[in-house]
């Protein structure tokens, strides 16, 4: 039975990746950072019904000694580095923490792998945010990077460290340049989940309006459940490489709102307001990915349509609020 070590196992992608790897017969071990709120740890793993099927070990991405100990003890065949301070907006408020966790943290994991067992296969969660101020209308592995936030700068460091460790030490280290991917397990601060939660609250009479920032930015949104499959596929290849993972369709925040509100029989224009507090110091205006390399080399394509994903998210938020109301 192969063993996978996942950093960021309590996040959206960590939960779906765990589910996928368990279904493939893996032993799944997750890195857990200590929290004073131990009772709410692993909510997403519970939601998927797999909390008792994964092992959790205490450590932190910023503590190299903990990572070395864990890699020694767990003896993983594959390491997926998903942990990060992943909220772009927060990276302006906490730029140094973001650099330490999202950037240096990845270097720590690479170091732990190199020191303990360089034969371990490594996955780095890179991001379409690295493209930032767009150089190509459609972004592929060949598009130059131009990061627009402290988060994206940190991710770029982690990305190039992954490439560098591959080239310097021959590590089987791959980087997935993933475009936005969402689900009912998406953090509530991200715009898609904020919208679907807002739709549910408005529909059930718990709120009247929803305040957002820039409605004109566009994103290439896919479903997290589809995207974790690409992570796994990258580590099954003979050779490590970098891959763009995207749907090839871009949609504005405004249009996302229209679809989500109309799913609940509402008109977004009656409820969505804008608040400058949610605008960013520098914006990524358009993202649209070309995942042809992943299609050709990995046989991967996105399966879930935006409309189906939005419907799933709205229904999940309606069910959650209804359950709360029922006591
Ligand atoms: P989440 O924000 O949902 O999860 C982040 C995870 O990182 C959580 O498990 C969190 O733990 C953990 N973490 C944060 N800081 C530390 C630390 N110091 N030590 C150990 N663990 C830590 O992110 P997603 O699941 O959405 O994304 C997974 C990865 O993919 C991230 O690296 C993200 O930047 C990247 N990415 C995401 C995309 C997306 O659209 N979702 C697109 C492209 C890249 P805790 O629960 O304790 O907070
Ligand atoms: P993003 O996701 O920054 O693309 O990063 P987010 O959902 O936060 O923002 C997407 C776009 O929506 C606009 N927006 C708002 N965003 C938030 N959060 N809240 C609002 O009220 C709001 N109103 C408008 C933003 O300005 C932006 O243009 C996500 C994260 O998962 C990263 O970790 C990942 O690397 C990238 O996706 C790919």
Determine which one of 86, 91, 126, 127 is catalytic: 127
Q: Is 149 a catalytic residue?
A: no
**pLDDT tens digits, residue range 218-243?**
999 999 999 999 999 999 999 999 99
pLDDT at 327: 86
Nearest by Cα to 240 from 181, 131, 164? 164
pLDDT of residue 86 exceeding 80 = yes
ipTM: 0.99
pTM for the model stands at 0.98
Architecture of domain 3-181+222-245: 3-Layer(aba) Sandwich (3.40)
pLDDT at 41: 77
Q: Is 165 a catalytic residue?
A: no
pLDDT at 35: 84
8: alpha, beta or left? (left if phi > 0; alpha if psi -120 to 50): left
Where does the chain hold its CATH 3.40.50.720 domain(s)?
3-181+222-245
What are the DSSP E strand ranges found in 183-275? 210-212, 218-219, 222-223, 242-245, 251-252, 272-274
Average pLDDT taken over every residue of the chain = 97
DSSP characters for 247-308?
A: -S--EEHHHHHHHHHHHTT--GGGTEEE-GGG--SS---B--B--HHHHHHH-----S-HHH
Ligand 1 pocket check for 125: Cβ under 6 Å: yes
Where does the chain hold its CATH 3.90.25.10 domain(s)?
187-219+250-285+305-325
pLDDT at 42: 86
* Span 241-265, average pLDDT: 98
Burial label, 181 (beta-carbon count in 10 A; 0-12, 13-18, 19+): buried
* Span 101-119, average pLDDT: 98
Task: Report the side by side order of strands in the sheet with 3-7.
Answer: 55-58, 27-32, 3-7, 78-81, 121-127, 172-178, 242-245
User: Which CATH number, 3.40.50.970, 3.40.50.300, 3.90.25.10, 3.30.750.210, labels domain 187-219+250-285+305-325?
Assistant: 3.90.25.10
- pLDDT over 70 for what percent of the chain? 100
Q: 28-37, 46-55, 291-300: which range is least confident on average?
A: 28-37
Ligand 1 pocket check for 63: Cβ under 6 Å: no
Is the CB of residue 227 less than 8 Å from the CB of residue 178? yes
Q: Is 151 a catalytic residue?
A: yes
pLDDT at 37: 77
């Amino acid at each position: 039975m192969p063993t996978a070590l996942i950093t960021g196992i309590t996040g959206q992608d960590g939960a779906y990746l765990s589910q996928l790897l368990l279904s493939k017969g893996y032993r799944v071990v997750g890195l857990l950072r200590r929290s004073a709120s131990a009772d709410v740890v692993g909510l997403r793993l519970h939601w998927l019904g797999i909390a008792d099927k994964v092992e959790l070990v205490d450590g932190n991405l910023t503590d190299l000694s903990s990572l070395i100990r864990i890699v020694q003890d767990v003896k993983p065949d594959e390491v997926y580095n998903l942990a990060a301070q992943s909220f772009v907006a927060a990276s302006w408020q906490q730029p140094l923490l973001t650099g330490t966790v999202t950037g240096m943290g990845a270097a720590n994991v690479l170091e732990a792998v190199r020191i303990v067992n360089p034969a371990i296969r490594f996955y780095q969660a890179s991001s379409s945010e690295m493209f930032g101020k767009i150089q190509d209308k459609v972004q592929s592995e060949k598009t130059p990077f131009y990061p627009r936030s402290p988060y994206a700068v940190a991710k770029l460091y982690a990305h190039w460290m992954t490439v560098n460790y591959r080239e310097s030490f021959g590590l089987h280290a791959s980087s997935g340049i993933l475009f936005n991917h969402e689900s009912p397990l998406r953090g509530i601060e991200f715009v898609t989940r904020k919208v679907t939660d807002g739709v549910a609250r408005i529909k059930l009479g718990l709120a009247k309006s929803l305040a957002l920032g820039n409605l004109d930015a566009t994103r290439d949104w896919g479903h997290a459940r589809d995207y974790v499959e690409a992570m796994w596929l990258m580590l099954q290849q003979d050779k490590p490489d970098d891959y763009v993972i995207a749907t090839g369709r871009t949609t504005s925040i405004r249009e996302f709102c229209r679809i989500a509100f109309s799913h609940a029989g509402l008109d977004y224009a009656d409820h969505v307001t804008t608040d400058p507090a949610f605008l960013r110091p520098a914006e990524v205006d358009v993202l649209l990915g070309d995942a042809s390399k992943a299609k050709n080399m990995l046989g991967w394509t996105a399966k879930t349509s935006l409309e189906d994903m939005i419907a799933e998210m709205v229904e999940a938020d309606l069910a959650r609020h209804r359950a709360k109301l029922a006591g």
